[in-house]
Amino acid sequence: MKSISLKFGLIIMLVSGISLSSCNSSDELSAGITYNLVTVDNEGTTLINTVDLKTVTTGSDAITESQSDWLKFMREEEKLAHDLYIAFSEIYTVPVFKNIPRAELNHMNAVLTILTTYSIEDPASIENGVFNNADLQALYNTLLAKGKVSLVEALKVGALVEETDILDLAKVYELNPGDDLTALTEALMLGSRNHLRAFVRVLKVNGVVYAPVALSLEDYTAIVTSDWERGTGLCIGNQNAAGKKYCNRSGKGFMGGK
């Protein structure tokens, strides 16, 4: 990854008018079982079950250099979210900065699960606020300073981070991902959409109507006007030769439900 999506050039390929149908439909599950890859609390904090993720991502798919680079980038980008929210939690006492860092650490570990599966070196530093990727280091420094100005600015930073994360996750679809990366991506994107909803709702409580910076208005509106997504992210059955089917695959990961 040579740059992140703050250049606004990438648009998520969401299907126009797509509904947030749950993975738990009888048609999709009639031939198999469902792995519950994500859990969502009443505040939208979304955790990935890394044990089940490891079960369904066996490392059987070949991985390219571009896919490896994407994984390493996403490992550090999830760390950027975690480290920023931890820093803000030490300044502001709102629950969103107490709860979501736990989820971001979990998301970091989900990416690490796939890195480990393919014996790819982990680029993430154990030190908060330190990044191997120079672009992410510069972005962290900029967003940290911006968020220290006020609670509202910190919440806007959180929303922007989640917008950017969605776009950078969507880049995997340009890399012809196998089941491993697709399962990871769809779970992470679901989490980012829920966390974006959380930040936007807290901003509204503080009298601020957030306007999207990185996402298109159409995609942003489709996300924030819908409720928390509680779908699994992955349906297992006999729908294709590999025996796997992803919810709303054509929507580039925009799936889930209540």
Q: Over the stretch 180-201, which tens digit does the pLDDT of each residue have?
A: 888 888 889 989 999 999 999 9
pLDDT given for residue 22 in this prediction: 32
User: What's the rounded Cα separation, in Å, for the pair 143 and 139?
Assistant: 6
pLDDT given for residue 60 in this prediction: 63
pLDDT given for residue 182 in this prediction: 83
User: What's the rounded Cα separation, in Å, for the pair 9 and 4?
Assistant: 10
- Do residues 167 and 8 make contact, with C-beta atoms less than 8 angstroms apart? no
Report the predicted TM-score, pTM, of the whole model to 2 decimal places: 0.79
pLDDT in tens, 38-86: 777 888 888 887 777 777 666 666 789 999 999 999 999 999 999 999 9
- From start to end of 49-122, where are the E strands? none
User: What's the rounded Cα separation, in Å, for the pair 210 and 8?
Assistant: 17
Around 24, how many Cα atoms within 13 Å sit in the side-chain half-sphere? Answer: 9
Helical H runs in 129-150? 134-147
Residue ranges in the chain whose pLDDT is less than 70? 1-36, 56-61, 231-258
User: What's the rounded Cα separation, in Å, for the pair 217 and 99?
Assistant: 27
Element (H, E) at 47: strand 46-48
- Do residues 13 and 170 make contact, with C-beta atoms less than 8 angstroms apart? yes
Helical H runs in 1-64? 26-29, 50-56
- Radius of gyration, CA atoms only, the chain: 17
- Do residues 72 and 108 make contact, with C-beta atoms less than 8 angstroms apart? no
pLDDT given for residue 56 in this prediction: 66
Q: What is the largest CA-CA distance in the chain?
A: 53
- Domain residue ranges in the chain: 5-14+40-214
> Residue 180's closest CA among 121, 239, 122, 114?
114
* Single-letter amino acid, residue 58: T
User: What's the rounded Cα separation, in Å, for the pair 185 and 171?
Assistant: 10
5-14+40-214 architecture in CATH? Up-down Bundle (1.20)
Place of tokens 């996402």: 215
User: What's the rounded Cα separation, in Å, for the pair 232 and 230?
Assistant: 7
